[in-house]
Amino acid sequence: MSEAKRKLLIVEDDQGLQRQLKWSYEDFEVFCASNRAEAIALMRLEEPDVVTLDLGLPPDPDGTTEGFATLDEMLQLKPDTKIIVASGHNAKESALHAISAGAWDFYQKPVDIDELHLIVKRAFHVRDLEMANQKLQQPDSNGEVLFGSLVTASPEMLKAARTVERVANTNVSVMLLGASGTGKELLARGLHDASARKSKPFVAINCGAIPENLLESELFGHEKGAFTGAIKTTEGKIELAHGGTLFLDEVGDIPMPLQVKLLRFLQERVIERIGGRKTIPVDVRIVAATHQNLNQMISDQTFREDLYYRLAEVTIGIPKLSERSGDAVLLAKHFLARFAREMNPSIKGFASAALTAIDQWGWPGNVRELENRVKRAVIMADTKFITVDDLQFDTPDDEDRLLNLKAAREVADRKAIGRAIARTEGNISNAAKLLGISRPTLYDLLKQYEMHV
C-alpha cells in the first residue's frame, strides 16, 4: 500500500501548529482534530493507522487528564493503532506513562518537524509489516488458518510460505533448503497442518543429532532381541508416522549404507524392522531438510543422487533472516511480547537504538539467535525498555577489519550514535548535542550508515 493512501490523524488544539503539521505530511491523507470528541469521531470514521496526540487537550490544556482519556478510548476502538504522543520538555514522565499505557512512541515540544516525520514514517512502516503478517495468517477458503505460527512480512519468506501452501495437499516429497535456525521445521509443520494428513501424526527426527549406529533403529525400528539391549519390539519413526508426515531434518547427515535402505523404502513403501523378516507397508509423506549443499555432496559421492531426486520432488529455499527485509524487528517484537508475558511483565518494549541495532545486525544464527537474544534480554533487563546492551551485540574485535581505518571508524560511529540515541530516547537534536555535532551532520551519518531511529 502506498504512503499516499495511508491515513494519519493529528490531534492538536494549537491551530497554527495543526496547520503546520498537516502541511508537512502532504504524502499522507491527513485528518485533524482539536479535542477528544473530534478525535474519537474521526477514529470511528476513518480508522487511521497512525495518530499524533498532544496530551494537553481542552478542557485541560495545561494537564494530561484529557489526553490520557483520549489515548485510552482510541486504543479501545483500534488497539493496533500506532499513537505517538507529544510532551513538553518537563513532561518526560507523562510520555513514558503514555507508552506504558499503550502509546507507540513520543516526541517533545517544541516540535522538530524533521524528527517527528521520521517517527511517523517508522510507525507506518511497522504497521505495514504487522498488516502483511496478519494477512498471511488469515483463514483460507475452507476456514482454516494456515501457518499460524509463522511470523513474517518479507516477500522472500512469503514466497517460500506460499510454495509450501500450494504443495501441501499433494503427496510429493518436499526438500527444504536453508541455514540452521531459519525455521525449516516450522514450515514442515505448516505443510503438514495444511494437508489432508493433518489429523495424523507429524513425526520429526534430526538425522544429524543421532549417532550413526543408532539412526537405523530410530528410523526403521527393531524386534526384541535384534541386538544387545533390544529388550522389546520398538516401532521406528517411519512406522510411527503412518498416515501422516515424516520430517527428516539434516537429511544430509544420513550415512551412505542407510541411504540405500531409505531409498528402498521410498521406492517400495514398505519397511522391515531390524532383526525382523516381516514387511510392513507404511503410508507416509516425506519432508526433508538440510543446511548442506546436496549437489556438492552428490559430486563428492557422499549423498546418493537417486535418493536426492526421491526426496526433492519439490525444492523450497528458506532465506536467512538477514535476507528477510523487515522481519528481524517484527520477530523481535513478537518474541518480546511472548517472553515478557511469561517471565517479566514489566518490560514494555525496545528502546529506539535497540530496534536500530536489531535491524542492522547480521544474525548469523538466524531466527534462533534472535529468539535467544530477546529471551535473555527480557530476563536480564533492568529497565522497562530493552537496550542495545541488554541484547549483548558487542562482538570480539576482528583484527583485520579494525586495521582498516574506515571500517574502524564506522564501528565507533555506529556505537556512539546508537548510545546517544538511546540515552536521549530518540531525540535527534539532543543526541547531536551529546555527540558534539550538528543535527544535519547526525542526519547525514544516519543516512550513510543506514541507521533508522
**How do residues 207-217 score in pLDDT, each as one tens digit?**
988 988 899 99
d(CA 370, CA 386): 14
pLDDT in tens, the chain (453 residues): 444 468 999 999 988 888 888 888 877 899 999 999 999 999 999 999 999 999 889 888 878 889 899 998 998 888 889 999 987 655 667 777 788 778 888 888 888 888 888 888 888 888 877 776 665 555 443 333 345 567 887 778 888 888 988 899 899 999 999 998 998 999 999 999 989 999 999 999 999 889 888 999 999 999 998 888 888 999 999 999 999 999 999 999 999 999 999 999 999 999 999 999 899 999 999 999 999 999 999 999 999 999 999 999 999 999 999 888 778 888 898 899 889 988 988 888 888 778 878 888 889 899 999 999 999 999 988 888 898 889 988 644 444 444 456 666 776 787 778 777 766 666 787 888 888 888 888 877 877 776 655
- Mark whether 42 and 14 lie in a shared domain: yes
C-beta separation of 218 from 255 below 8 A: no
CATH code for the domain of 24 = 3.40.50.2300
Residue at grid coordinates 536521549: 424
Sign of CA dihedral 388, 391, 396, 399: negative
β-bridge mates for residue 386, sequence order: 350
Domain membership of residue 260 (yes or no) is yes
CATH code for the domain of 410 = 1.10.8.60
Last residue of a domain, one of 318, 345, 370: 318
**Structural domain boundaries, residue 409:** 326-448
- Mark whether 172 and 124 lie in a shared domain: no
Cis peptide before 59 (omega within 30 of 0): yes
Last residue of a domain, one of 270, 301, 318: 318
Last residue of a domain, one of 261, 291, 318: 318
Domain membership of residue 148 (yes or no) is no
d(CA 218, CA 176): 22
Dig out the grid coordinates for 268 from the structure.
517400495
Domain membership of residue 236 (yes or no) is yes
- Mark whether 192 and 229 lie in a shared domain: yes
- Mark whether 14 and 71 lie in a shared domain: yes
Number of domains in the chain: 3
d(CA 86, CA 109): 7
d(CA 282, CA 278): 13
- Mark whether 310 and 349 lie in a shared domain: no
- Mark whether 117 and 217 lie in a shared domain: no
Domain membership of residue 149 (yes or no) is no
- Mark whether 390 and 251 lie in a shared domain: no
C-beta separation of 120 from 140 below 8 A: no
- Mark whether 112 and 170 lie in a shared domain: no
- Give the angle subtended at the CA of 40 by the CAs of 37 and 44, to the nearest 5°: 140
